[in-house]
Structure 1
Amino acid sequence: MKTLPNDIVLRPRFELELKLPKGNVLQFFEKSKKKDFLVKCIDEHVFIKFKKEHSHFWSPQLHLEITEINENISEVFGRFGPNPALWTFFMFLHFGIATLFIVCCIWGYSNWSLGKSYGLQLGILIFMIVVWFSLYAFGRVGKAKGKPQMKELYSFMKETLGL
């Protein structure tokens, strides 16, 4: 098993090489019956998440992509992540802050080149950097709170594949 470094990423990833055909791997997930998990298979993608009664704001889900190396060997690419709506909201906030950061940079540079005061713009830029780091820290806290459930999802995947 090859594991990618996940020290700073908010969406941990992994790869598995299986000595099974892709079709068999997909069938294992389609036939899996575990009361705590919802398993959805779409083409060569498998989405595993917790049912509503077992999930919370930071509950992760596991996205697996199964690819065929040859007839008898397949590769599983896995990625843990938060609820897609939560992830989209996080990305929206990051892009909004990045846009405001660029606007303040332009505004501050314009004031500087005109010889006007640019203290306000510099203060806003520093505040934006603090907000950016806060968002990252908030995401890390969420990842830590979801870690036990990530382990459950990973164990379920291994159990389903017979590993």
Structure 2
Amino acid sequence: MEAEKNSDIHLRPRFKMDFSESQQEIISKFKANLNEGNCKYCSKIVDEHIIIDVPAEENHFWSPQLNIEIEKINDKETIVKGLFGPKPQVWTLFMFFHFAVAVAFIGFSVMAYVQWSIHTDYSFALTMVLALPAIWFIMYFLGRIGKKTGHKQMDELYKFMMKTLERKLSEK
């Protein structure tokens, strides 16, 4: 098993691991581990894609979700790609706010330029052009705080995944 991770600056950390097992063997490990009676994680398995959530009683707004994609290289080699991130609805909301700030920045930039060009008061538009990057940085740091809040749960999901991948199929 060989693992590759990206840098820690990303809000949605990714990893990639190579295995000398077939795609079906790895998927079977996850099915066996997730179907055990004492498994506390909520999950969905669709074809080669596995989504693992934290338990419902531990779930909060910043709880992470682990998305795993199992890619077949050949009959005996497989790549497991993983992505930690917030739940899709949280990520969509966050991206909507980023997009809204970007559109507002462009709009107020045009407004400031037009008002400056026609020699009218452009102080409000200029204030907004200066304030919107500050709002963007605040949203970025809120995302970092959210990632830090869910870090313990992210570690637990990662340990669960590694325990599953290191498990022998004959174990119960």
Q: TM-score, normalised by structure 1?
A: 0.95
Q: Per the alignment, in what secondary structure is the counterpart of residue 9 of structure 1?
A: coil
In structure 2, the gaps of 5 or more residues are: 168-172
The Cα RMSD (Å) is 1.2
Per-residue CA shift, 1:117-159, capped at 9, x if unaligned? Answer: 3221110111111111010000000000111111100000000
Aligned counterparts of 1:144 and 1:86: Cα–Cα separation in 2: 15
| Runs of 4+ more than 6 Å apart | none
Q: How does 1:1-163 map to 2 (within 5 A)?
A: 1-6=3-8, 8-32=9-33, 33=36, 34-162=38-166
Q: Spell out, residue by residue over 1:84-109, the C-alpha distance to the aligned partner (whole angstroms, 9 max, x if none).
A: 11111101111111111111011111
Question: Alignment identity in percent?
Answer: 38
TM-score by length of 2: 0.90
Distance in 2 of aligned mates of 1:37 and 1:146 = 15
Question: Post-superposition shift, 1:115?
Answer: 2.3
CA distance in 2, matches of 1:3, 1:102: 35
- Structure 2 letter corresponding to 1:38: C
2-structure distance, mates of 1:133, 1:123: 16
- Cα distance in 1 for partners of 2:49, 2:4 equals 19
Which ranges in structure 1 are unaligned for 5 or more consecutive residues?
A: none
**Displacement of 1:10 after TM fit?**
0.5
Q: Number of paired residues?
A: 162
